[in-house]
Structure 1
Amino acid sequence: MITKATFDDIATLEKLINSAYRGETSKQGWATEAHLLEGKRITLDQLEEILKDKNNTILKYTENNQIIGSVLLTNKGDKLYLGMLAISPELQNKGIGKKILHEAEVHALSLGLSKIVMTVITIREKLIEWYNRHGYVDTRTREPFLLNDADTIITDQHLEFAVLEKIL
C-alpha cells in the first residue's frame, strides 16, 4: 500500500533511507551509494523540515505494517521533483520501486504537473539505466554534487548530478 508519510513515520523513514543508501546494510541491494559516500543520507531533523514544507510529499510503501519503500516528491510549480527513492536493500529488485514511480506519476498529474525531474550521480550508470527503462531521459544537464554536513566522499571519481526527466 502506498500512502503519504506523516510526522509519526520520521524515525522509520530515517532508518530506511539511510539503510538503502549508505553503510554495510545498503550493500545488500543494488542501488547503494556506499562505494561513493559515507555518512548519513538524511537526518531526523532534515526529514522533519522536509515534511513541514507544504510543497513536499513523502510517499511510503507499506507491507505487513512495515515501511519498506519511500520517495520524496516536491512540487516545483511547473514540474515535480522526485528524490530520495529508497527501498529496503534486501527487497530491491522486486518491483517496489516501479510501483512507487507509478504513484509519483499519479501524484504529479493530480497536481496538474506533466513533467517529473530528478538528479542522479552520473557515475551510477546502473541506476540511470533503470530510470531510463521507466521512461526517464538524461537531459544532458549537469549539476554540481554538493556535500551536506553528514557526507564524506570515499571515491576519487568526480561526482556530479545528471538531470533526468519524464514527460507524462
Structure 2
Amino acid sequence: MPENPVFRTATPADVPDLVALIESAYRGEASRAGWTTEADILGGQRTDADMVAAMVNGTSGRMLVAEQDGVLAACCQLENRGGHAYFGTFAVDPGRQGGGLGKQVLTEAERLARDEWGAAEMHMTVITAREELIAWYVRRGYVRTGELSPFPYGDARFGLPRRDDLQFELLTKKLH
C-alpha cells in the first residue's frame, strides 16, 4: 500500500522529472496504463521543459507536487487569478492511478487556493472529448459551464490532434 503523499512546491530541479511524469500520464503507450491518457485524441508532446519551467518559476502560482514512497507521483499547476484559482497540468503516474492519489492532489490544491489565496472558486479547462475525465471532476463538485474555448490547433507544443473537433470547456467549483 503506498504511503500518503507528501506535498510540496516544485523547484527548478524537479523540471525534468515533471516533464517525464506529465508525458507519461497523457501521451504514448506508457499512458495507456492509466485512465487519463489522451493518446487516442492527441499525439506529439503534452509539454516540454520550457513550459514546465515557466510554471515552476511563475510568480502568480505554483506547481504542486506529490511524492509517494519517496518518488514524484503526481503534480498540478495552480495559478492565483485574483478571486479564483486556476487548476491545470494535472498528472498522476499511470501506475498509481485509480488508488485515490488524484483525489488527494485535487483536495490539497483546493485547500491551498482557498486557505492561502482566499480564492472563492477553482477554474479549469478540460477537453470536451474527455467525457470520463469531466465526469470524474463533476463527481468532485465541479460544474460544467458550457463555456468553450478552441484547442490550439497548429501549435505542436500542445500536441498533434488526431481529430478536428477538439475544444476545451470551463469547469468551476465554489471553494466554501
TM-score category, normalised to shorter length: over 0.9
Aligned-residue offset at 1:155: 2.5
> Structure 1: where are the runs of 5+ without partners?
none
Aligned-residue offset at 1:71: 0.4
For normalisation by structure 2, the TM-score amounts to 0.92
CA distance in 2 between partners of 1:21 and 1:9 (Å) = 18
CA distance in 1 between partners of 2:123 and 2:104 (Å) = 17
The answer for the alignment partner of 1:129 in structure 2 is: 135
Aligned-residue offset at 1:149: 2.5
Aligned-residue offset at 1:58: 0.7
The answer for the alignment partner of 1:153 in structure 2 is: 161
Structure 1 residue 60 corresponds to structure 2 residue 68: no
Alignment deviations for residues 38-61 of structure 1 (CA, whole Å, 9 cap, x no partner) = 111110111111222111211111
Structure 1 residue 32 corresponds to structure 2 residue 37: yes
CA distance in 2 between partners of 1:50 and 1:104 (Å) = 15
Structure 2 counterpart SS, 1:2: strand
* Runs of 4 or more above 4 Å deviation: none
> Structure 2: where are the runs of 5+ without partners?
1-5
Aligned residues: 167
Selected match of 1:19 from 24, 37, 43: 24
For normalisation by structure 1, the TM-score amounts to 0.96
CA distance in 2 between partners of 1:73 and 1:155 (Å) = 29
When structure 1 is superposed on structure 2, of 142-151 and 21-30 the one drifting more is 142-151
Could you tell me whether the CA contact under 8 Å between 1:79 and 1:113 is conserved in 2?
Answer: yes
The answer for the alignment partner of 1:44 in structure 2 is: 49
The answer for the alignment partner of 2:110 in structure 1 is: 105
Structure 1 counterpart SS, 2:156: coil
CA distance in 2 between partners of 1:60 and 1:144 (Å) = 28
Aligned-pair Cα RMSD in Å? 1.0
Could you tell me whether the CA contact under 8 Å between 1:35 and 1:155 is conserved in 2?
Answer: no
The residue type paired with residue 147 of structure 2 is T
CA distance in 2 between partners of 1:155 and 1:63 (Å) = 36
The answer for the alignment partner of 1:162 in structure 2 is: 169
Structure 1 residue 69 corresponds to structure 2 residue 74: yes
Selected match of 1:118 from 104, 124, 127: 124
CA distance in 2 between partners of 1:73 and 1:27 (Å) = 26
